[in-house]
Chains A and B, each alone.
Chain A
Amino acid sequence: MAFEWLNKFHHEMEKDPDYAEKTLAAYRLGMKAKGSILGVVIQPLANCCEAARDLPDGKVYDPDGAPRLPLPGCSQGRRCGCVYRPVMSYQRGDEP
């Protein structure tokens, strides 16, 4: 994929204290306002914590039900390498 460095960079960025709240609120609004967002996935890094490794692979969450990042017990705190990613209708071959 083009600009793979940015994906890695984004994973490694220090998270704001309200990262989970703000990101999930945005996705909630996006779905309510009928954007092409279908839900949210959590993308862990290879060296993520055990709790992140236990997450179901590729599960699409509703923003209200998505686990909060950093996950409870994550040893990396705001340096947690997990990120939320929106899931868009065009990624699923659906019309937005």
Chain B
Amino acid sequence: MNTMASVLARVPLFKLYRAFGWPKMLPLNLTLSPSPKCNSRCLTCNIWMKREDELTIEEWDKVLASLGHSPYWFTISGGEPLMYPHVVELAQLVYKHCRPGVINIPTNAILPIIPDRVKRIARLCPESQLIINLSLDGLGAKHDFIRGIPGNFEKFEERLGQLLALRAQLPNLTVGIHSVISVFSVADLDELIAYADRSGADQFITEIAEPRVELDTVGLPITPSREQYAQAIDRLIAYVESKQFRGMSKITEALRVEYYKLVKRILDEQDQVIDCYAGWVSAQIYANGTVWPCCVRADDLGNLRNHSYDFKEIWFGEKIKGVRRSIAAKECHCPLANASYTNMLHDLPTLARVGGKILHPSGHSPGAKEPSSPIAP
């Protein structure tokens, strides 16, 4: 089984790999997008309009077999991943071939079938932590407006209740709330924090709305200004720091605060700020089998259908080298959460600050809950 200790042990090797191209390493953090189809109509995302010649489950089987036990963290993304008809089988294949520490699935919480699918995945992958993050971008009608679906908030609350009830039976299930901070929601972060705090969810995570090639949002005015974001996120940081966490949660919350501060710096400096390891440590496999270093740039590194479904052929091939050079030369920068958390694990000053926080915590709130999440992009 993949453990966090095994991840940390590989950090120096990935640093060598990025600097010198040796030793050759497969990614720790892999996002799979089996289908772009989605039943939301979000203002901040256009992926739902896309249609692809999707990999079949038999093709996914071959791809995942080629990865072995290297990835620690899988995200099954979309579209709406829990609407994908083979999502349970896909998770089962991930577990069978890769035995990851974490399987992370975001959801719009609309379909009634979601709790059943979550239950089946959790039971079929007993030694992996299954994190289900329900999207929440506003309260009540505001959520419905941003997500483009009347009645979505009501369904969110229904699904949250069902998943929290399931959590009592499934020790490997973590239920979180995930908010995208966009120009449409940035003014409402305080009420989202308050809602998440009383919701019973294990974690509340946020990500800034950013343009991505994957989502066809390049050039769209969805990202809040640096000032708007800073004002909002400082209150979230203050909230997190007012809490007292124990065990693994102490580390995850310290990393989360680091991420929020990193985003502020990226917006301010328009620079990578810390080295990006997308293309070395993290990657994405899109619905049609194309491998990307990340969903922001979505460089076509090769299609698995043209490489006998062997991920290694693409990862250790020629085409990826030019993209890695571009990323290392800081020709790009972004606050993508999934990649950023991986990047922070490979940044020694960040790790030192997190270590310092664990040893000298500042939060002393007596009634604070203890979220049970592992490290969560």
**A interface vs B, CB < 8 Å?**
1-7, 9-10, 13-14, 16, 22-23, 25-27, 29-30, 33-37, 43, 83, 85-86, 88, 90-91, 96
Q: How large is the interface on B (under 10, 10 to 19, 20 to 34, 35 or more residues)?
A: 20 to 34
- A-facing residues in B32-66 (Cβ within 8 Å): 41, 43, 46, 48-51
In the complex, what distance in Å separates the CA atom of A33 from the CA atom of B37?
12
In the complex, what distance in Å separates the CA atom of A32 from the CA atom of B216?
17
Whether A29 contacts B51 by the Cβ 8 Å rule is: yes
Residues of A within 8 A of B349 (CB): none
Residues of A within 8 A of B225 (CB): 2
Given that A26-B216, A27-B49 are known contacts, is A88 also in contact with B210, CB under 8 Å in the complex? Answer: no
A61: min CB distance to chain B, Å: 16
Whether B223 contacts A26 by the Cβ 8 Å rule is: no
In the complex, what distance in Å separates the CA atom of A2 from the CA atom of B333?
10
B93 at the interface (CB under 8 A from A): no
B90: min CB distance to chain A, Å: 23
- A-facing residues in B220-247 (Cβ within 8 Å): 220-221, 223, 225-226
Whether B41 contacts A34 by the Cβ 8 Å rule is: yes
In the complex, what distance in Å separates the CA atom of A73 from the CA atom of B43?
36
Given that A9-B332, A29-B49, A36-B148 are known contacts, is A2 also in contact with B41, CB under 8 Å in the complex? Answer: no
* A–B Cβ pairs within 8 angstroms, 24 of them: A2-B270, A6-B334, A7-B211, A7-B219, A9-B331, A10-B219, A13-B213, A13-B299, A16-B300, A30-B49, A33-B41, A34-B41, A35-B46, A35-B48, A35-B49, A35-B148, A36-B43, A37-B49, A83-B218, A85-B218, A86-B46, A88-B43, A88-B220, A96-B41
Whether B49 contacts A6 by the Cβ 8 Å rule is: no
In the complex, what distance in Å separates the CA atom of A89 from the CA atom of B358?
46
Residues of B within 8 A of A2 (CB): 210, 223, 225-226, 267, 270
Residues of B within 8 A of A88 (CB): 43, 220
A10: min CB distance to chain B, Å: 5
B173 at the interface (CB under 8 A from A): no
A32: min CB distance to chain B, Å: 10
Question: Which one, B51, B219, B220, contacts A26 given CB within 8 A?
Answer: B51
B15: min CB distance to chain A, Å: 25
B227: min CB distance to chain A, Å: 12
Residues of A within 8 A of B220 (CB): 85-86, 88, 91
- A-facing residues in B318-350 (Cβ within 8 Å): 331-334
Given contacts A36-B43, A85-B218, 11 further A-B contacts (CB under 8 A): A2-B226, A3-B223, A3-B333, A4-B270, A5-B331, A6-B332, A9-B332, A23-B216, A30-B49, A34-B41, A96-B41
Whether A96 contacts B43 by the Cβ 8 Å rule is: yes
> Nearest B residue to A14 by beta-carbon distance?
B300
A13: min CB distance to chain B, Å: 8
Residues of B within 8 A of A34 (CB): 41
In the complex, what distance in Å separates the CA atom of A2 from the CA atom of B299?
20
